[in-house]
Structure 1
Amino acid sequence: MAKKRAREADGATEAPDKMVEDSDSSDDEDFDIVNVDFEWFNFNEKVDFLGTKSLIRQLFDVDANLFDVSALADLILSQSSIGSTVKTDGEESDPFAFVTALNVQEHRQKKPISQLIEYLSEKAKATESLAPIPELLASGQHVGLILSERLINMPSDIVPPLYTMLAEEIQDAVDDKEPYEFTHYLIVSKTYHEIESTLAEERKKKKGKQDAALYYFHPEDEVLQKYATAYGSYPFTKTDDAVADSKRAFQEMGVMPMGSMILIEASKFAGAVKAVGEYLSPPS
């Protein structure tokens, strides 16, 4: 398993595992191999602000403007030993992925968390499968809000180490009497539907309306849902700000992103993390 650099607990500096990426090639037999070293780091307030902020915006898509994203990035960076960034060119480079867990109850008076509580509660109230979430967020229980995002072309192999190290760090923090003893974990993510371009509107009318299939930006979500108390997708508020249909005028299908929530009881989280590792880890 990959090792995280500069872990505060033990100062480990072991080199991470190497993941090999295949570059695009016009020939099925002749292709180039590009070696990429992925490294896991603690959050670093001096270098990770812009990269973390950018990934948060990607996670919340068109609704990111509803939050103080800068303040949320600062809050994430302030708890540097919980969660990780993934980089390819040393600690001073920009993160390509991150994961963190924020204590909703501990930070509920802070603007970025109060905004998120209100937003997620309203979305859950309008989505039947997410019905337990608003009451839980208002209950005063210690809910761990997991935020995780990565560049679209990042390999899913990086996900098991991210979640495994997160679970270990949370347990270490609990052992040190820090406020990370959660009753539940609420994972915020994204899904999408494929939608027909308006240029195909007449053909759509002839075929009749069909329910759009649901797809996952994060393949681990399909596994995490199996351990969930509640899960579901919801439409973004500012859908009018989405990419105009004219931008995909010559494509047969477009993509409609949606927000997603997965609620897992703390007692089931370790099993969920293990299952993600079994599903996404490369064969040995």
Structure 2
Amino acid sequence: MGKRKSLKDADNDVSMGDDGSGSESDTDLVNVEFEWFDPNPQVDFHGLKTLLRQLLDTDAELFDISALADLILSQPTLGSTVKVEGMETDPYAFLSVINLQVHKDKQVIKDLISYLTTKSSSTPTLAALSKLLSKPEIPAIGLILTDRVINIPAQVIPPMYTMLLEEVNWAIQDKEPYNFTHYLILSKTYEEVESKLDAGESRPQKKKKKNAAAGGKQEMFYFHPEDEVLERYTLCHGTYDYTKEQAEGASDSKRAFQEVGIRPAGSLMLIEEGKFEEAVKAITEYVTP
């Protein structure tokens, strides 16, 4: 059965088109009913692994993704999956939280902590996170992992965050180890790069967007629009380059609804526990039509 509720509304239709412009001439609308479920180890393992690989991008090969999926599925009362054709199908989106302090001795979490420490220590804007991760005892940080299939609308995300808040509160009441001091959200950004597919064509190329405030550096964009809101509530946030370089031509393989290529990067957002509920309310207001 559905975890909490389902969404079936014109405002939540999935937009499918050639360029994402939203015009009736080039966009098909598919009416979809979304349902939320508890993570289910009987059916979600392979779908969850696919979404985790997408989230970690080229650096996914640095980790035991199977072990990470198993850990998420071992907490079925915490976190959510989103599906459209019933519980027995693969998830189109997921959200979960892992207590880094509690699971620090598991190899996959050891690897993740080492990875996050390296990335934050080499990124000046993530100094506060680096300091936390460098403590002799890892604090009770809740690592939030979430991703979704392209074209799944942002409206499915706020209910997952809202339910997570409820589930964490219930777990604390049951004296389970989810009394976090901070939430750390692992996500992705991207920058636009010149398309190699179009390099030999004579038609004008799309101009690259520049961020004047950053002194002419290439502008970063959000894969997930809600991240723009979450960043406003962070103690610190920053982007980092992946350890593993993407393969030749990968930037063009990732392009969607646009003429340019895409170069992804990792993103980390650290939110203090006291500000997390406010941040969740803010993204709910932001993505609600």
Report the Cα distance in structure 2 between the residues aligned to 1:182 and 1:245, rounded to whole angstroms: 37
**In 2 relative to 1, CA 173–24 (structure 1 residues): closer, same or farther, beyond 3 Å?**
closer
1:92-111 aligned at under 5 Å gives the runs 92-111=88-107
Structure 2 residue matching 1:72: 3-state secondary structure: helix
**In 2 relative to 1, CA 78–22 (structure 1 residues): closer, same or farther, beyond 3 Å?**
closer
Deviations 1:128-168 (A, max 9, x none): 00111122124321000000000011001101101100111
Structure 1 residue matching 2:105: 3-state secondary structure: coil
The answer for the alignment partner of 1:270 in structure 2 is 277
Q: Is the CA contact 1:232–1:260 (under 8 Å) kept in the aligned structure 2?
A: yes
Structure 1 residue matching 2:175: 3-state secondary structure: coil
The answer for the alignment partner of 2:267 in structure 1 is 260
Report the Cα distance in structure 2 between the residues aligned to 1:230 and 1:151, rounded to whole angstroms: 27
**In 2 relative to 1, CA 171–127 (structure 1 residues): closer, same or farther, beyond 3 Å?**
same
* 238-247 or 84-93, larger mean C-alpha shift: 238-247
1:51-200 aligned at under 5 Å gives the runs 51-139=47-135, 140-197=138-195, 199=199
Deviation at 1:32, TM superposition (A): 6.3
Among 8, 32, 57, the residue aligned to 1:18: 8
Report the Cα distance in structure 2 between the residues aligned to 1:56 and 1:47, rounded to whole angstroms: 16
**In 2 relative to 1, CA 108–157 (structure 1 residues): closer, same or farther, beyond 3 Å?**
same
**In 2 relative to 1, CA 243–171 (structure 1 residues): closer, same or farther, beyond 3 Å?**
farther
Deviation at 1:212, TM superposition (A): 1.1
Q: Is the CA contact 2:254–2:262 (under 8 Å) kept in the aligned structure 1?
A: no
Segments of structure 2 that go 5 or more residues without pairing to the other structure are none
**In 2 relative to 1, CA 22–264 (structure 1 residues): closer, same or farther, beyond 3 Å?**
closer
Q: Is the CA contact 2:185–2:270 (under 8 Å) kept in the aligned structure 1?
A: yes
Deviation at 1:28, TM superposition (A): 3.0
Q: Which residue identity lines up with residue 117 of structure 2 in the other structure? A: S
Deviations 1:2-37 (A, max 9, x none): xx825xxxxxxx652313326658983798653211
Q: Which residue identity lines up with residue 146 of structure 1 in the other structure? A: I
Q: Is the CA contact 1:62–1:242 (under 8 Å) kept in the aligned structure 2?
A: no
1:21-60 aligned at under 5 Å gives the runs 21=13, 24=16, 28=24, 34-60=30-56
Q: Is the CA contact 1:22–1:31 (under 8 Å) kept in the aligned structure 2?
A: no
Structure 1 residue matching 2:274: 3-state secondary structure: helix
Report the Cα distance in structure 2 between the residues aligned to 1:217 and 1:100, rounded to whole angstroms: 18
Q: Structure 1 length normalisation: TM-score? A: 0.86
Report the Cα distance in structure 2 between the residues aligned to 1:265 and 1:56, rounded to whole angstroms: 24
Q: Which residue identity lines up with residue 48 of structure 1 in the other structure? A: D
Structure 2 residue matching 1:260: 3-state secondary structure: strand
Q: Is the CA contact 2:241–2:266 (under 8 Å) kept in the aligned structure 1?
A: yes
Count of equivalent residues = 267
**In 2 relative to 1, CA 79–29 (structure 1 residues): closer, same or farther, beyond 3 Å?**
same
Q: Is the CA contact 1:81–1:169 (under 8 Å) kept in the aligned structure 2?
A: yes
Q: Which residue identity lines up with residue 258 of structure 1 in the other structure? A: A
Q: Does the alignment pair 1:216 with 2:222?
A: yes
Q: Is the CA contact 1:19–1:38 (under 8 Å) kept in the aligned structure 2?
A: no
Deviation at 1:228, TM superposition (A): 0.2
Structure 1 residue matching 2:111: 3-state secondary structure: helix
**In 2 relative to 1, CA 267–247 (structure 1 residues): closer, same or farther, beyond 3 Å?**
closer
